[in-house]
Chains A and B, each alone.
Chain A
Amino acid sequence: MTGRVFEIREFTLHDGPGVRTTVFLKGCPLRCAWCHNPEGQSFEKETMVRKDGRRVPCGEDWSPEALAEELLKNADIMASSGGGVTFSGGEPLSQSDFVLAVAALLKPKVGVAIETSGYAPGDVYERVISQMDFVYQDLKHHDADAFRKWCGGELGVVLDNIARLRRSGVRHSLRVPLIPGVNDSEADRGAFAALAGGSPVEYLPYNPAAGAKYPMLGRKYEL
C-alpha cells in the first residue's frame, strides 16, 4: 500500500497542540471555490512552476512505514511537547486505509489529529476518527444549495458525519472558513451555530492570499 502526499510541513502552529508536523494528502472529492491548496485537489501527480521558472514536482508516494519513519524522526520533541502529526490535504479521508496504517504506526509514540472536510462515506469516517486524538471538522456552509454551488458536493454527507463525530465522543472542533459574500453574514453565523449543536466552532477569517498557488498550476483563482 502507498499513499500520495504533496507536502510534509514541520512545526505547523495552527493544526493542534504541541509541536506538530502536518502531512498533506493529495486528492479531494470536493472543489471549493476558495480552496487554498489547489495542488491538493487532483489525485494525480502534478508539476508546479514557480515564479522563477523552476519546476517543482508535486505528489510523492510513500509506504506507511517510510512515512511513519520520516515523521517519527521528530518524535522526541513531539512527545515532550504533547504534539504529534496532523493529517490534512486535500482530503485525507480519501486515502483512509493509508491514513489508518500510518496513524497506527505513530500512535504508540505521538499524538494524531486530522483536518477533514468530512466528505466521505460514514463507515470510513467513523473508522478514521475513532483512531484520532483530535478532529478539525470543516463546516463550509449550512445551506445545501450553496454547498453544491460553491463546493461541488452534498451537504448531507457532511452533516451526517458531524453527527457521527459528536456521537463518537472524540475531541473535536468545527472550523468555518469565512468567505466574503458566501457565508459571512450575521444570519450565516446563526445558522452555523445552530448546526454546530454545542460543538466548539472556530471562525477562520478569509485570507485574500488564498489564491496564491493557482498560477503555479497554470490555473486561475475564480473567487
Chain B
Amino acid sequence: MTERIKSLLDRTFAKEQKKFRRDVDWKPLLDKFIAEGVDDETRARMGLEAMLAAEEPAFMEGETIHFLRTVKQIPDLHSDAEMDARRAAGTAFGEKGVVFNLTADFGPTIAVGLDARLDEIAARLAKAEAEGDAEGVNFLRNADLSVRAVLGLADRYGIEHVPHKGARTLHEALQFLRILHYAMWCEGEYHCGLGRIDQYLFPYYDADIKSGRLTDEAALEELEEFFIACNRDSDLYIGVQQGDNGQSVMLGGVTRDGKNAFNDLSRLCMKACGELKLVDPKINLRVDKTTPLEVYEAGTELTKEGLGFPQYANDDVVIPALQKWGYELEDARDYSVAACWEFLIPGVGMDINNIDAVSFVGSLDAAMRGASAAASYEDVEKAFFGEIQRRADALVKKYAHVEILPGPFVSVISTGCVARARDICKGAKYNNFGIHGTGIAVAVDSLAALKDVVFEKRLVTLSELVKLLDTDFAGRPDVLSAAEAAPKMGNADPRADEIAKRLIAFWGHAFDGKRNDRGGIFRPGTGSAMYYIWHARDVPASPSGRLRGQPLSANYAPSLDVPVKGPISVVRSFTEPDLGPVCNGGPLTIEIHDSAFAMPDGVTKVAQLVKFFVERGGHQMQINTINRETLVDAQKHPDLHRHLIVRVWGWSGYFVELDKEYQDQIIKRVELCA
C-alpha cells in the first residue's frame, strides 16, 4: 500500500469526510410535489436535480477519484400518506417502493460517455414525440434532465473528459463509475451493487498495462483509492444494519460466451481488498468445478482477515438454474448478485429478489395444529407441504400487481430503457420476484424429531407434542431430551438429510407456472434476510427442541443450538439437496475461528473445504472468520453462537460452553493476534 493510499485510508477511518456534511430540509420540495400533483417520473428527476444542485464539490487531500456526499438527506419524493393511500388502493410495493437491490449496467455508459447517451435520448425523444407516445416523452425528457444534472455536478467538480466522454484509462473508468454509482444513491435508489467490475473495467486496465501507462502496482493503487471511496458515504446509505448497503462486486466466472473470466484484474481486486481490510466493497467470487485451488486460496486470504467475504457462487449450479427459469444462456453467464446474495443479471434484471418470505417453521407449526390426528409421519409431512403451498399461493396473489417508483437516471444506465422509451420501473428484460424460505434447518430438524419422538419412540402423541410446544416442553424433559438427541441437518445423517431433500425439492417447485403481472416468475430461495428474526417471533417452541424466543439460523445453515460434527459434515448435509430449483440466493454460512489460520496451511485447508462444497453442487457459500467482536457478542448472547468453535490448545471446544474466565482469556488472546 502506498503512503498516499495509507493516508487516505487513515483519514477515511477517522471520518474526515464528515466535516463536509450538512443537513438540508427537503420538506418544501415534497410540499411542492404534493401541491402541484407532480407525477412520479418528474419527481424523481426533480429530486435528483435538487440533490445534486445542493451538493458542493468536496475534496479529500491527496485523492484523485472524486465525488463525495455532502448533503446528508436524500429528498423524500412521496409522503407516507401518499404511499399509504396507494397501498390502500391495492398496489403492492417492494420495501420502500423505489428501485433497490439492483446492479446497473455501468460498462456501456462508461465506454461511450454521457454526451453520447444524451444524443441517444434526443433521437429517441424525437421518435416518441412523432409517435405521440406521451409516457415515453415524459420519461425521456426527465432522463435527459437527470443526465444533465449529473454532468452539471461533474462540471462543478472540474472533472475532465469523463463523464461527458467515454473513459480511456482505468483511472477515468473508475472516476466515471464512482459518479454513476453515487448518482444512483442520490436518485434515491439503495442497495446499489457494483457488479462484475473485473469484466467491464478490464479493457481499460488491459490497455493501460499494454501501453505501459500503468504498472500492476499503479493499477492496484487506483483500485484501492476507488474502494476507499466506497466506504466514505456508506454510513449515509440505508440498510438494516451498518454495512448492509449492498455495495457488492462479483469477480471471476465466465464471459457471456462461456470463456473463463477470472483475470488479472480479478486478482488485483482481491489483493486490494486484502490490503485495505474494509467492509466495502463486498467481494463475491464465481467459481466452478474447474477453478484451481489457488483461486480459493486467494479468496481464503480475505476470509482470514475476518471480513466475512468472499462469498462464493457456483457457476455449475447457478447458470443452469437461471436458464431453467427462462434466462437466456448469455445473460445467465453474466450473473452477479443484486446487492447481497440474490442472483441478478446487471442491466437487464429488474427482479425484486427479496419481495417476501415463507416461514417453514411457521408452516410446520400450522400444519401440525391442523393435522394433529395424523396417523403417520408421512401425513404430517404432507400437511406441512400443503401449508407451504397455501402460503406460496397467497404470496403470488399478494404480489400480483407491484409498482416500482421510477428512476430516470438508473434507467439510462440500464440496458434498453432508452430504446424502449420506458423507465426501468416499468420492467426490464427480466421481472422476476424472489421469495425467501426461512428456517429450513429448524423445520427439517423438527420433522426428524417428531418422526422419532411421536411415530417411532412414541413418547407422546402429535397433539400432546403440540401442547408441549406452547409451554416449552414443561413437565416433559424426557421429550425435550429426545427431541434434542434426534437427527439434525448438518451431521451428514441421512435421517435428517432425506427430509431436507424432500422439503427443498417441494419448495423449489412451489411456484411452478405462477406469474406476476409483469410476466415474471417467482424464484424460491434459501435466503432469510432479516426474516429469520421476524419469523422466529411468530412461533412457540419447535419439535426440534428449539425453545420459544430462540432465533432461527440465518440463511442456509444448521440450527443454532445443535452440536454438529464439523464443517465437512455440514457441507455434506447442505449439498445433499438439489439446489438448482432454489437458486434465488441464500448462502450456506460457516463460521471458523481465526485460530484456524494460525498454522501456515490453514488457508489451504479452508480453501479445500470451499472447493469441496462447490464440487458437491453447493450453490452459494460464505465463511466467517470469528474474531474478538464475535466472541464478546457470544458471551452476551450465547444462544446465537452455539456453533462457535475455538481452538483452546490441544483441543477445540464450543466457546459458549467454556467458563467465563476461559472465554475472557480467549478473547484476550484473539486481541493479541489481531
Contacts and interface: CB of A to CB of B under 8 A. Distances in A.
Contacts of B665: 207-209
A36 B651 contact: yes
Residue among B566, B596, B608, B650 having the largest count of chain A Cβ atoms under 10 Å: B650
Given A18-B605, A51-B657, A10 B569 contact: yes
B658 A9 contact: no
A29 interface: no
A80 B608 contact: yes
B565 interface: yes
B568 A36 contact: no
A17 B600 CA distance: 10
B605 A212 contact: no
A19 B659 contact: no
Residue among B567, B568, B647 having the largest count of chain A Cβ atoms under 10 Å: B568
By size class, the interface of chain B is 20 to 34
B666 interface: yes
A11 B568 contact: yes
Interface string A4-20: 00011111111001110
B243 interface: no
B612 A77 contact: yes
Given A77-B612, A212-B659, A17 B569 contact: no
Interface in B538-588: 565-569, 572
Contacts of A12: 652
Contact of B649 (A18, A19, A88, A210): A210
B650 A37 contact: yes
A109 interface: no
Contacts of B566: 9-11, 21
A62 B601 CA distance: 31
A11 B609 CA distance: 9
Contact of A13 (B572, B602, B612): B602
A131 interface: no
A11 B572 CA distance: 13
B599 interface: yes
A121 interface: no
B648 interface: yes
Interface string A158-193: 000000000000000000010000000000000000
B653 interface: yes
A19 B568 contact: yes
A127 interface: no
Interface in B372-386: none
Given A13-B602, A80-B608, A50 B657 contact: yes
A215 interface: yes
By size class, the interface of chain A is 20 to 34
Contacts of A17: 601
Contacts of B612: 19, 76-77, 80
B605 A215 contact: no
Contact of B599 (A11, A14, A73): A14
A212 B567 contact: no
A105 B658 CA distance: 36
Interface in A70-108: 73-74, 76-77, 80-81, 83, 88
B424 interface: no
B13 interface: no
Interface in B579-629: 596, 598-599, 601-602, 604-605, 608-609, 612
Contact of A51 (B604, B647, B649, B659): B659
Contacts of B651: 7, 9, 36-37, 213
A213 B608 CA distance: 31
Contacts of B565: 8, 10
Nearest to B646: A209
Nearest to A10: B566
Given A19-B605, A19-B609, A212 B662 contact: yes
Contacts of A80: 608, 612
Nearest to A211: B662
A51 B663 CA distance: 13
Interface string B636-659: 000000000001111111000111
B649 A209 contact: yes
B492 interface: yes
A13 B568 contact: no
Interface string A193-221: 00000000000100111101101000000
Contacts of A21: 566, 568
Interface string A41-70: 000000000110000000000000000000
A80 B602 CA distance: 16
B567 A10 contact: yes
Interface in B311-355: none
Given A9-B566, A19-B568, A209 B658 contact: yes
A13 B492 contact: no
Nearest to B606: A13
B605 A13 contact: yes
A139 B165 CA distance: 71
Contacts of B568: 10-11, 19, 21, 74, 77
Contacts of B572: 73-74
Nearest to A207: B649
B605 A210 contact: no
Contacts of B601: 17
Contact of B567 (A11, A88, A177): A11
Given A14-B599, A17-B601, A19-B568, A209 B662 contact: yes
Contacts of B662: 208-209, 212
Contacts of B652: 9, 12
A212 B596 CA distance: 20
Nearest to B668: A208
Residue among A51, A212, A215 having the largest count of chain B Cβ atoms under 10 Å: A212
Contacts of A11: 566-568, 605, 609
Contact of B650 (A36, A50, A51, A74): A36
A85 B200 CA distance: 46
Contact of B605 (A37, A81, A177): A81
B63 to A, nearest CB: 41
Contacts of B649: 36, 204, 207, 209-210
B520 to A, nearest CB: 39
Contacts of A14: 598-599, 647
A9 B669 CA distance: 23
Contacts of A83: 605
A83 B653 CA distance: 22
A163 B658 CA distance: 39
Nearest to A35: B650
Contacts of A207: 648-649, 665, 669
Contacts of A13: 596, 598-599, 602, 605, 647
Residue among B565, B596, B604, B669 having the largest count of chain A Cβ atoms under 10 Å: B565
Sort A-B residue pairs by CB-CB distance and give the 8 closest, nearest first.
A10-B566, A207-B649, A81-B608, A209-B662, A11-B566, A212-B662, A209-B648, A77-B612
Interface of A: 7-14, 17-19, 21, 36-37, 50-51, 73-74, 76-77, 80-81, 83, 88, 177, 204, 207-210, 212-213, 215
20 contacts: A9-B566, A9-B652, A10-B566, A10-B567, A10-B569, A13-B602, A13-B647, A19-B609, A21-B568, A36-B649, A36-B650, A50-B657, A77-B568, A204-B649, A204-B650, A207-B665, A208-B665, A210-B649, A212-B648, A212-B659
Given A204-B649, A209-B666, A215-B659, 15 more contacts: A8-B565, A9-B651, A12-B652, A21-B566, A36-B649, A37-B651, A73-B572, A81-B604, A204-B650, A207-B649, A207-B665, A207-B669, A208-B665, A213-B651, A213-B653
